[in-house]
Amino acid sequence: MATSMSQIGPGKTPPRLISDLLNYVPRLVEDGYNLLADPAQQFQNKPLKRRGLNDCRHNLMRKDSQTQAPISDNISWNSSSQYFVSAICSSCRHHFKIRVSVSSGEHNDFCNMSQPEYPLHHLILTDSFRIRDSVALAPVSKYHGFYETFEYSCSRIKCPIVVNIKITPPRLEKSLLQLIEDAPTLEERGIKEIRKDPSRFSGQQPVDPFTALKHLASYLSDALHAQGEPRKIAVRNKKFRLSFSDDCNDIFSYLDFFFFKEQVEGDDLNFFWRLPLITDQNRDFLEDALQELTFRASEVQSQKDNAPIFTLAVPAMKQIKIILGYASFPEKTKNFDANTEEHPYYASLGAVEDFTDELLCWAYDRQCECDPKNKPYYFDCLEDLARGRKSYYLHTKFVVATSAGGYGNKAIEEAYGYFGLESNINESDELIMSLYKGRVESEPSQKKYARDCLEKIARHRNSPSLEALIKDKDMTLDEALEFLGVNIDTSPEFIEASAVARLVDGDKNKVALALKIIAKQKPGDMILQRAAALMAAEIGEACLSISDAYKMLQIPSREVSDEGVLNYFQSLSNVAAAGSKENFCEALRLIALDRSSTFLLAKLADPNAEVSACTAEPLGLYNIGNTCYLNSLLQYFYSVKPLREMVMNFDNYRMVINDENMRRKKVGGRQVEKSEIIKAQKFVEELQNLFIDLKTASSPSVRPTKELAALTIFSTQAAEEVARKNSVSSINQLQDNAQKFESLESAQLSSQSPLPNSIVEEKVDVSDTSNEKTSERGDNESEITLVNSDICFQNVSDENKNIEPVQMLDFESDSATFNVHATQDSSKISPAPDRPPPVPPRNNSEVSTSKNNSDDYNSANRLWDFGTQQDVTEVIGNVLFRLQCAITATDYEFPSGEQVDVIRDTFFGANTVYTQKAQILQKKIEAWSYLLVFPAKSLQRSIYEALDISFDEQMVEIDGQNVPQFTSISKLPRIMQFHIQRTAFDQTNLRSWKNRTPVTIPETLYLDRYIDDSEIPNSTVMNRRRQTWTWKKELAALEARYEVLTQVQENLNVPDALIATRDWINEIREFPIDGISINPDLPYLLDNRITEVTLELNEISGKIEALKQKLQNQFFDLCEHGYTLHAVFIHQGEAGGGHYWVYIYDSNKDIWRKYNDENVSEVKNRDYIFKHESVGRGTPYYVVYVQSSLLKEMVDPVFRDVHQTKMKESSNISDVPRVSENLTENGLEGLNATRHIENIETKDHYTHSMSFVPEDRK
């Protein structure tokens, strides 16, 4: 009888299903329980029905001709996939067919071991059918037999797998086989035949069962493999007579042999059995019969020494496991007796005993989800198996389930018993409610236990009235902690996990309330605050949007710093009514969560709290004046592990200054002076101090020293350039300072001690807000960061304004670097000024700075102004040069003698430039630390297209001849840096301008196409590159021709001009003009030409698109040398100045962060970086990639080990000017006067931006 079931209910994993199949005995169905169709019997400490000792444990052998299954477990499923394995039990000779198919529908996400959440299928019975139950309705064909089928579907909604199992009893019944496998019967038959014709059977003996079975099997085998007409067997054949005689006609008829008679010699008749004629209908039937005879013959012969050779059968389990998806599932190490019956709890969970603890927990979760009404029983299973297996993992799972409100049948019995009830008696809800209230009133101390018991009963009965009774909105902190199974000192991560676990089956409102109460007691805890907010949103509590939160606090932009946000909040909440203040607090809490700001959360709880930085987040860097690009590159360098480790452990890398080391010291293609090494080592010491602060500081941001900034920005050439641009007196002052510096450096060389404070400026610690600070560098001085600026600063004396600008060297560079610029004529120096430089203002008495004389100050100030004109690329070059100068070499390049060290190994690559001269291909190797990327003038260009400009073949003039030249990368660096060359010079207007044309930057970059493999014969890469060069030439010619045909002159392109001419000619012909004759064929010729041009344009367009598609796909499959994007430097502004910030990728958390001076924030939407033509109205200026295979080894932006110290005064909120005071006393202009222009950044989706910066942070 057929039965249908839904996909709700207990299920079985494939290992459990096959285990049950191997133990399945069809006759036990008569006892009222079906192992394959019915749920596993629940174990209640009473013996369960087991298979008998003599029942068959099936040993399945594969029937290859009836099997369609892969040989490996790498299956690619699709909507038409179907695999099946047919097998026979070698013992009981039952036949099994396991079929796995894909149901029709939209779902195609298949469970497999690569998915931790769904490693195996969880199969639920959907249909079963037994032909025995329907035999009265239709006759049973011998070809199909009395079969039964079971159909299962995966309980996972997205998995479309359907499993069908068909079981058929042996084809040959015992009554038939008795005729040929019973030894006494065979002996009697043989003796009888021999006696009939002793002479004919002379020397013959009766056959044994093995021989008879073997003979019949050979007949069937011949029939199944026969070519052409089936052969016939003579009934009088001696072998046939001794084995079968006339007694076995029923067997032959049953097996489709055909009996006939035929006249042979004379008038004698002879009788024959013709082998079965094989058809699609009987093939499987006869193959099954052959299998049964073969295994039966092997069985009766197993005791004899000389066993015959049959085709060895292949076990079917491997293919069964493959199609069911558990061929390679992890198994528990077996330390149990294989002959011992496994505990019934395994079957109840749909699992098997050799499941790992992780798989067992997964099976428990699936059963609970699919069969929730029996969850208490599964809970008991988990508890008992955890104890029996002595598994810490299972015990932890049990504890978590308990804390989430899980309970077993035992707990249900105890809950009913507490009220004097029994679980199997259906009492009314009203009775249970009255019993509960009575207990609480009589025993108030037992309220918690009584409520727990009532909750179990409510869930067991699924009673809304009982659940309503136990809901209690008045919850204390102790009750909240107890409800979640935690204490006040429990880690926030575990509290959140406990709440999530409770949320699965518990009262969501109650869980959210408990978490909210605990979070209120820990307002500074980001994890708890975020968890409480998310859970409140999940249960549908009304909450502000982030936009509404900013509007409520009247904050104009999301770019306002945390301190500014707090100012807005305090200015409103301090004068607000009690109800409104709570709303303001909620708005501030939401903003803090959105920003992940521990500062705001802590200040929300206690305005006087000292906030320590989060160890899981990087710190910001205060802007110390016109050096936002300095902060960006310092953050970038700190994220590079080899560089950071070298700086942090500088003593292990420091170069010892001696004659031998100085003789061999060659960096950037030149010998390095001793003074440069001393400066470089001083620079690394300063950088080390900053890195230590970034690692250990407890404040949200740290401040670089002016000394570090100077050593970072100013190269030796920079100082020389400033000297040449200043007056003679200024030059003398710089020389005096240089002499002082040299004497100090000599002292440092002998003592290895830091420079004295009298000359070297210490950290600027400004604790007073004074307007005099703005006069230190001139009243009208610009506060913008200049980029490639040719504008002189106004505090430089006016007499110097006629000095010709000198274009700077890129840095103290390797001669082989791509981007070294030639210096202009430096011989023109203006005469000495008529008056000395302006006297600098006195320092504020309460401001601690270095005490230099005014001349020293002005010369240093001019150098500082010059440094601010450099861009990121130049400063990075200077930093790398100084780092190499400071450290010892690990090797030397041959033959250049260039120093090899950790910096060169990390950042430097090399190109090979190939030049074809006559018949000789010359090559030159050039080292570089970054590559130039050139944007197009108008159209967007990919980074590959931009790089092609440098690497493609081009014609160059050498010795008056044009020769082809191309470039390949011969050495890839571990960190690949690209400078997007956006600054250009307008020769017409004689000014610099910034190219804003977008360059698309992929998150993963593959450089295989540029790799130098010229040494390899028939190089694949080189052949492809040459092909692209040919295509590009064709493309350029086509685009040029297309431009000619479509170029607009006088508002007409060529086709329009031809059409206009034709129309004009036609007008003249219609209204002739005296003296003007028109060729009558001219309109016709013009029409032909218009058609030709139109066709040509269409053809050119098609060819252009085809070539572009070829170029796009030419290197698509080359993905060996992959680089992952790590950092993107953004510049906002014009060629003359602007603001920098940097985005850095954290691969450990798979997030991007924005580093904007002291503000470090997570980028929630990556499209804001990658899919916008500009980023916050800024443009990518410098990008950094890291070898994908070395990503974890090379970069790690978060490296923190906080040492708790008292916060500096500069970080105290009391130093921040009150918003209300600025607005009321100074107005908007007064407010803007306190801001730093570099901190202003406008995003496309905000109206404007404002940043409140304390005087001591400007």
Summarised one tens digit per residue, pLDDT across range 694-708 is 998 888 888 998 888
pLDDT at 937 over 50: yes
Residue 810 lies in a domain: yes
pLDDT at 479 over 80: no
Q: Which segment of 196-205, 647-656, 1131-1140 scores lowest on mean pLDDT? A: 1131-1140
Residues 710 and 816 in one domain: yes
Question: 1001: Cβ–Cβ under 8 A, 6 or more apart, which residues?
Answer: 943, 1125, 1128, 1170, 1180, 1183
Decide which of 31 and 190 is more confident.
Answer: 190
The 8 Å CB, 24+ separation contacts for 250-255 are: 250/176, 250/179, 251/172, 251/176, 251/179, 251/180, 251/216, 254/142, 254/176, 255/220, 255/286, 255/289
Token reading at 1246: 């905000």
What is the model's pLDDT at position 152? 95
CB 619 within 8 Å of CB 1144: no
The domain in which residue 1049 lies consists of: 1040-1113
Residue 907 lies in a domain: no
447 — phi, psi (to 5°)? -60, -45
Q: Which segment of 207-221, 297-311, 355-369 scores lowest on mean pLDDT? A: 297-311
CB 589 within 8 Å of CB 601: yes
Residues 1240 and 1092 in one domain: no
1050 burial level (CB within 10 Å; 0-12, 13-18, 19+): exposed
What is the model's pLDDT at position 495? 87
Residues 709 and 642 in one domain: yes
Residues 596 and 710 in one domain: no
Cα–Cα distance between 840 and 572 in angstroms, integer? 42
Residue 2 lies in a domain: no
pLDDT at 1122 over 90: yes
pLDDT at 405 over 90: no
pLDDT at 901 over 90: yes
Q: Which segment of 348-357, 1078-1087, 1176-1185, 1240-1249 scores lowest on mean pLDDT? A: 1240-1249
CB 1152 within 8 Å of CB 1145: yes
Q: Which segment of 63-72, 591-600, 750-759, 1199-1208 scores lowest on mean pLDDT? A: 750-759
Decide which of 1234 and 383 is more confident.
Answer: 383
Residues 561 and 630 in one domain: no
Residues 575 and 683 in one domain: no
What is the model's pLDDT at position 1206? 41
The residue out of 1067, 1097, 1113 marking a domain boundary is 1113
Residues 582 and 625 in one domain: no
How would residue 682 be classed by pLDDT, with cut points 50, 70 and 90? very high
Residue 722 lies in a domain: yes
Residues 678 and 717 in one domain: yes
Cα–Cα distance between 107 and 111 in angstroms, integer? 12
pLDDT in tens, 35-53: 888 888 888 777 676 666 7
What is the model's pLDDT at position 628? 65
Where does 893-960 show beta strands of DSSP type E?
Answer: 899-900, 909-917, 920-928, 931-933, 941-942, 954-958
Residue 683 lies in a domain: yes
Residues 551 and 636 in one domain: no
Neighbours of 1198 (CB within 10 A): 17
CB 144 within 8 Å of CB 131: yes
How would residue 448 be classed by pLDDT, with cut points 50, 70 and 90? confident
Decide which of 1066 and 1152 is more confident.
Answer: 1152
Q: Which segment of 31-35, 357-361, 1124-1128 scores lowest on mean pLDDT? A: 31-35
Q: Which segment of 849-863, 878-892, 963-977, 991-1005 scores lowest on mean pLDDT? A: 849-863
Q: Which segment of 298-307, 958-967, 1113-1122 scores lowest on mean pLDDT? A: 298-307
Residues 550 and 606 in one domain: yes
pLDDT at 819 over 50: no
CB 150 within 8 Å of CB 37: yes
What is the model's pLDDT at position 256? 92
What is the model's pLDDT at position 753? 36
Total domain count, the chain: 4
What is the model's pLDDT at position 348? 93
Where does 820-862 show beta strands of DSSP type E?
Answer: none
Decide which of 339 and 226 is more confident.
Answer: 226
How would residue 1123 be classed by pLDDT, with cut points 50, 70 and 90? very high
Supply the mean pLDDT for the chain: 77
Residues 646 and 706 in one domain: yes
How would residue 459 be classed by pLDDT, with cut points 50, 70 and 90? confident
For the ranges 403-407, 867-871, 898-902, the maximum mean pLDDT occurs at: 898-902
pLDDT at 3 over 70: no
User: What is the tally of helices (H) and strands (E) in the chain?
Assistant: 42, 32
The residue out of 1082, 1113, 1144 marking a domain boundary is 1113
What is the model's pLDDT at position 399? 85
Residue 516 lies in a domain: no
How would residue 776 be classed by pLDDT, with cut points 50, 70 and 90? very low
What is the model's pLDDT at position 1062? 78
What is the model's pLDDT at position 4? 40
Decide which of 539 and 1016 is more confident.
Answer: 1016
121 burial level (CB within 10 Å; 0-12, 13-18, 19+): buried
Q: What is the pTM of this model?
A: 0.47
Query: What is the average per-residue pLDDT within 789-799?
Result: 35
Cα–Cα distance between 164 and 94 in angstroms, integer? 16
What is the model's pLDDT at position 748? 38
Residue 631 lies in a domain: yes
The residue out of 286, 302, 318 marking a domain boundary is 286
**Percent of the chain's residues with pLDDT above 70:** 75
Q: What strands, in cross-sheet order, belong to the sheet with 161-168? A: 3-4, 123-130, 148-154, 161-168, 95-102, 82-89, 60-62
Strand, helix or coil for residue 1180: strand
Report CA torsion sign: 591, 595, 598, 600.
negative
Amino acid at 118: Y
What is the model's pLDDT at position 526? 75
Decide which of 1119 and 1136 is more confident.
Answer: 1119
Residue with tokens 């690209």: 978
Decide which of 883 and 1257 is more confident.
Answer: 883
pLDDT at 773 over 80: no
CA end-to-end span of the chain: 86
Residues 215 and 232 in one domain: yes
**Percent of the chain's residues with pLDDT above 90:** 30
What is the model's pLDDT at position 1137? 73
Residue 1236 lies in a domain: yes
Cα–Cα distance between 1012 and 926 in angstroms, integer? 13
Decide which of 979 and 1059 is more confident.
Answer: 979
pLDDT at 720 over 70: no
How would residue 927 be classed by pLDDT, with cut points 50, 70 and 90? very high
Buried b / exposed e over 1202-1240, threshold 16 CB at 10 Å, is eeeeebbebbebebbbebeebeeeeeeeebeebbbbbbb
What is the model's pLDDT at position 466? 82
For the ranges 448-457, 1026-1035, 1222-1231, the maximum mean pLDDT occurs at: 1026-1035
How would residue 905 be classed by pLDDT, with cut points 50, 70 and 90? very high
Buried b / exposed e over 600-620, threshold 16 CB at 10 Å, is bbbbbbeeebebbbbeebbbb
